[in-house]
Amino acid sequence: MSAAKRKKLLAGNWKMNMRLAEIEPFFTAFAAGLDAASRQQVDVLFAAPFTQIQATLAACRARGFAVAAQNVHFEASGAFTGEVSAVMLTDLGVRSTLIGHSERRQYFAETDESVAKKTVTAIKNAMTPVVCVGELLEERKSGSTFEVVGHQVEAVLTAVKNQGPLKDREAFYPGDLTDGLVIAYEPVWAIGTGLSATTEQAQEVHAFIRKVAGEILGNDFAGKLRILYGGSANPGNIAGLLAQPDIDGGLVGGASLKPGDFAAMCITPSA
Ligand code: PEP
């Protein structure tokens, strides 16, 4: 599938931000900043903290935006204090979740193995996992970016492959997250640092991820796979990133908390 056929996806990661009282005003301002064409041409997703999900869903449903969790457990229920399962999220109507964000890998001991288990669980529960991968600064400096990212992608996609083909999945809300899996390339050194990867650096890793995905799950899957870039994306650099053939959207942290900035980023791809 050509890049033109992959609908752009702009996903905001609110991290541990956004009080309940801020949610409705955020969406009023965000929706006012979007034009009608962008609403048609771009999928927009908000990854909210668990306790803010219901209010975010209420604000998003009427406006046509999708909502994701920021994490999910791989078991359906049981003695896992502090965790939330996929069935609990789907009970609420949540159809997507971030998995393996670098902050979870760094601060909460998330591993390739847990990321793979969570991804398979999300898919089995008809959720779209947005699986985050990316190298540390030392790894980039030592020239091991492709090895590290390749290993992360391989771990998760091999687990998915072993669970049966994604094409058996039915389409689900928001309708165009076609294959039930999104990968976000987020170089760890670029997250929250103001130091974005260059368009060339990002494109070469995205092309590599698509190649690895094709080797594991076939070229049809790889051609449809949406690969987002994350790491200090902002209204000033998003257009250059999204113009790259293998960059299908953005996973946006800091700028997604500013409704005007994030709306401007969602308009860019359709321009
Ligand atoms: C993120 O949290 O996934 C992220 C990319 O953050 P930021 O845009 O702030 O770098």
Domains and CATH numbers, the chain: 3-270 (3.20.20.70)
CB 66 within 8 A of CB 37: no
Q: Ligand 1: which residue has its CA nearest to atom 2?
A: 253
Beta-strand ranges (E) seen in the chain are 8-13, 42-47, 66-68, 96-99, 128-133, 182-185, 226-230, 249-252
Q: Ligand 1: which residue has its CA nearest to atom 3?
A: 253
Task: Please give the full DSSP string across 30-82, using - where no structure is assigned.
Answer: HHHT--HHHHHHEEEEEE--GGGHHHHHHHHHTTT-EEEBS--BSSSSSS-TT
DSSP 8-state code for residue 173: T
What is the pLDDT at residue 174? 37
Residue whose C-alpha is closest to residue 217's, from 189, 181, 248, 241: 181
What is the mean pLDDT of each successive set of 10 residues along the chain, which is 271 residues long? 77 98 98 88 95 97 93 97 97 95 97 96 90 97 98 96 64 43 96 93 98 92 92 96 96 98 84 44
Task: Tell me the pTM.
Answer: 0.94
What is the pLDDT at residue 180? 75
What is the pLDDT at residue 271? 44
Please write the tens of the pLDDT for every residue from 170-214.
433 333 344 579 999 999 999 999 998 999 999 999 999 999 999
Q: How many whole angstroms separate alpha carbon 105 and alpha carbon 149?
A: 14
What is the pLDDT at residue 169? 53
What is the pLDDT at residue 4? 55
Q: Which of 73, 110, 186, 206 is flagged as catalytic?
A: 186
Name every protein residue with a CB atom under 6 angstroms from any ligand 1 atom: 13, 15, 186, 191-192, 230-233, 251-255
CB 187 within 8 A of CB 132: no
Q: How many whole angstroms separate alpha carbon 97 and alpha carbon 2?
A: 26
Q: How many whole angstroms separate alpha carbon 190 and alpha carbon 230?
A: 8
Q: Which of 73, 101, 110, 206 is flagged as catalytic?
A: 101
